Amino acid sequence: MLAKSVIEPCITSDSCLSYLLYRLPWDSKISEIAFRFRVNVSDLLAANSIDLNQPNQILPEKSFVKVPVSCSCVDGIRRSLSTHYTIGATDTLMSISEVYGGLVSAEQIRSANGIDAQHTLASGQSLAIPLPCTCFNNSNNGAASVYMSYVVQGGDALTRIAAEYDVTISNLENINGLGQSQIYPGDILAIPLASCSSANLNWYNESLIVPNGSYALTANNCIKCGCRPTDLSLDCSPSEIVDKCSHLQCKNSNLFIGERHENHTTSGCNVTACIYRGHLGGKIFRSLVNSTDVKCLGNQNQLAGSSMESPTSSYMAPYLSPSPLLSPSQYSHSAKTNSLGVLLNSSYANRHIINQGDGLSDGYGSEPNELRSPSNFDNDTSRR
């Protein structure tokens, strides 16, 4: 029986962030996995919420790792063609397919590279590896989502996969064009991952989407943004990994981006926060926002990063199915707190920069659809 996978038609030249859920065929360093898929190590660390300083950590075989790829429109369908493999002396198309955990078949590799059925592979030759991906406008029933390709393992059931990713069975069926809930080993499913988006945050010159459980760097790596799982909102603060970053402190305030000041009142808690508003030409836009909460967070304030799991967390383990292994060839009444406290790193794979023009009159106002100069962000005290 031929394996099935969803194919998304496309007509534009845009691309999106997409994930592959890769089951390690053997023990591998994170840096080795990154090289295998030709992705940036920091992007791989970000996708799996692993600290930047862990590129050489060894992950055991059968672990699942999220691999971020750029999903492009190629010949009218969504595919990722950024991965290349250099042929070794004993390699076959089948053994190369097994290196990628069933995400691509030998026949797909053959077709993508125009290899004749009788052609002998030449050692040292570079092959394009066509990997599955989907965009679907980064939306799932109107909610921000990044899609992940998953190879069905022996013993898997759609009910189990749906429960694992907090989606409904019917949702998975609709996305993947399944007439029924029956799936088979080798099938490739597109799974929507709930994500945090900047779409309604009035950011200037930028659009950012971060899957739940991941993080991203932006503004020339000066700002780090994590996805808060409790309400799927972005938490951004200085990355602290770049020495020369300016415009991080809100004007007329001692607060830096990502920090908040709380004042307890009889009716609740008055909060002033310094928030990130985007960037342009090396300048970081930020503004003060006043709000009223039911109660002050105080010592109960949880950093967005505290929810990000370690490399030994469940998603790094073979939680779906132990199928046979494919072989290779984180106060008081008045408090100042930081909203994101872990070391985060990423680059292009977790963000899609949108050029909205260089005119400084094209900023965003305090209302969702109001336009104003982004320079006002430096003096802005608005309510949300």
pLDDT, position 363: 31
Question: Between 161 and 1, where is the model more confident?
Answer: 161
Query: Is pLDDT above 50 for 358?
Result: no
Q: Give the C-alpha separation, 110 to 342, whole Å.
A: 43
Query: Is pLDDT above 60 for 45?
Result: yes
The residue-averaged pLDDT of 296-324 equals 41
pLDDT, position 31: 94
CB 374 within 8 A of CB 380: no
pLDDT, position 2: 64
Kind of pairing, strands 207-211 and 16-23?
unpaired
Q: Give the C-alpha separation, 1 to 252, whole Å.
A: 67
Percent of the chain with pLDDT over 70: 77
The residue-averaged pLDDT of 20-43 equals 95
Query: Is pLDDT above 50 for 208?
Result: yes
59 burial (CB, 10 Å; 0-12 / 13-18 / 19+) is: buried
Percent of the chain with pLDDT over 90: 55
* Secondary element (H or E) of residue 293: strand 283-293
pLDDT, position 174: 94
Q: Give the C-alpha separation, 364 to 375, whole Å.
A: 10
CB 165 within 8 A of CB 159: no
CB 158 within 8 A of CB 169: yes
Question: Between 309 and 157, where is the model more confident?
Answer: 157
Query: Is pLDDT above 60 for 313?
Result: no
User: What radius of gyration, in Å, describes the C-alpha atoms of the chain?
Assistant: 23
Averaged confidence pLDDT in the chain? 79
Q: Is 338 helix (H, G, I), strand (E, B) or coil?
A: strand
Query: Is pLDDT above 80 for 351?
Result: no
- Domain boundaries along the sequence of the chain: 16-194, 197-319+331-383
Query: Is pLDDT above 80 for 378?
Result: no
> Which tens digit of pLDDT belongs to each residue from 152-189?
999 999 999 999 999 999 999 999 998 777 899 999 99
pLDDT, position 270: 93
pLDDT, position 323: 31
Query: Is pLDDT above 50 for 129?
Result: yes
